[in-house]
Amino acid sequence: MELSRRGDYAVRAMLDVATRPADRMTVTKEIALRQDIPPIFLTKIVSSLSQAGLLRTYRGVAGGVALGKPADQISLLQIIEAVDGPIYINRCLIRRGECDRDRTCPAHELWVQAQGELLGLLANKSLADLARRAQELQQAPMAGFAA
Amino acid sequence: MELSRRGDYAVRAMLDVATRPADRMTVTKEIALRQDIPPIFLTKIVSSLSQAGLLRTYRGVAGGVALGKPADQISLLQIIEAVDGPIYINRCLIRRGECDRDRTCPAHELWVQAQGELLGLLANKSLADLARRAQELQQAPMAGFAA
DNA sequence: GGCAAATAGGATATAATTTATCCTTTTATG
DNA sequence: CATAAAAGGATAAATTATATCCTATTTGCC
């Protein structure tokens, strides 16, 4: 019932990229430093994000990583599923027929509902939303306590 | 991001008990049979549920298990947390200060929200709700397709 | 009392998954 | 051609989840 480290790292890494000046690339090692993520592990995560089209990567001396598409077209769900595969909150939701009780199990219905709400939330939150919010938080860390 | 087997078993076992005649006890081994749960593993789960007060257990020849309180006073959240401990959907929510970015991390806010919705859903669904629904499903398995 | 059937609980095994690193290769730049 | 970056395969290390075994305790019944 807990997000994997990989998923958490992926979100933070994407947010890191999204909040840098868009015209300059950054480099995986620097993201790792800033976000306190094991560097070699992050290269794997970046690779998954790249394969999903969420990051674009460039090899070589002047290489690095940049967003693969506009931040408002990247959902949190996409990020997490890129590194962890499809989310399901119970085994019986992996695919229809996984559990032979589907039709008569009231718990099954509950999992369907809970999963729907969770995925909905993550699908409707974009990286752009988070980046915007990051800026607010940085400019007014004490928001709510202003004189 | 997935419910443990233990949690799933716990919910199904509680539902099993709740849908039996209230005046007669059942026995762990039979629950395991009906619900297709590894019997010895289930004894551990029953033990946790008992310690949480959700089941009452009786030793000896005529022993068995029964609900520890009325089904409408048992939430799905209670059941799951009884066997899996407190739910948190990301490490940074284990306790305040777990992550030193709390104050400035926009992702943190998202996790708080997502967790709130998930826990709310589970806290508001009672075992009685599930039991009622179980009865409906059994009486009219093709509900929606009736002539 | 003694047997049988049930839960209680500690210890431990087994398996699966997650997290992380290492090493080599490929690509690009200056 | 040296350097800096990502790509990817193999593998190690750690953690967690799942499950079983064994012994003890409780209870009912003959």
Instruction: Please state whether strand C lies within 7 Å of residue A58 at its CB atom.
Output: yes
For A90-126, b/e burial (b = at least 16 CB within 10 A) is bebbeeeeebeeeeebbbbebbeebbebbbebbeebb
Q: Is A123 on the interface with B (CB under 8 A)?
A: no
pLDDT tier at A142, thresholds 50, 70, 90: low
Distance CA B101, CA B80 (A): 29
pLDDT tier at A143, thresholds 50, 70, 90: low
In tens, the pLDDT along A63-101 reads: 999 999 999 999 999 999 999 999 999 999 988 777 878
User: According to the model, what pLDDT value does residue A145 have?
Assistant: 52
CATH of domain B5-128: 1.10.10.10
Whether residue B82 contacts residue B122, with contact meaning beta carbons closer than 8 Å, is answered with no
Contacts of A15 (CB under 8 A, 6+ apart): A127, A130, A131, A134, B106, B107
Distance CA A43, CA A32 (A): 9
Chain B positions touching A125 (Cβ under 8 A) are 110
Q: Which nucleotide is nearest to A41 (CA to C1')?
A: C20
User: According to the model, what pLDDT value does residue B49 have?
Assistant: 97
Q: Is B31 on the interface with A (CB under 8 A)?
A: no
The mean pLDDT of A104-113, rounded to a whole number, is 92
Nucleotides of strand C under 7 angstroms from a protein beta carbon: 4-10, 18-23, 26-30
pLDDT tier at A146, thresholds 50, 70, 90: very low
B130 φ/ψ sector (left φ>0, alpha ψ -120 to 50, else beta)? alpha
3-state SS, residue B57: strand
User: According to the model, what pLDDT value does residue B86 have?
Assistant: 95
**% of chain A residues with pLDDT over 70:** 95
Q: Give me the residue spans of the domains in chain A.
A: 5-128
pLDDT 10s digit of each residue in chain B, 147 long? 899 999 999 999 999 999 998 778 999 999 999 999 999 999 999 999 999 999 999 999 999 999 999 999 999 999 999 999 999 999 999 888 788 887 788 999 999 999 999 999 999 999 999 999 999 998 875 555 544
**Which chain A residue's Cα is nearest to B87?**
A1
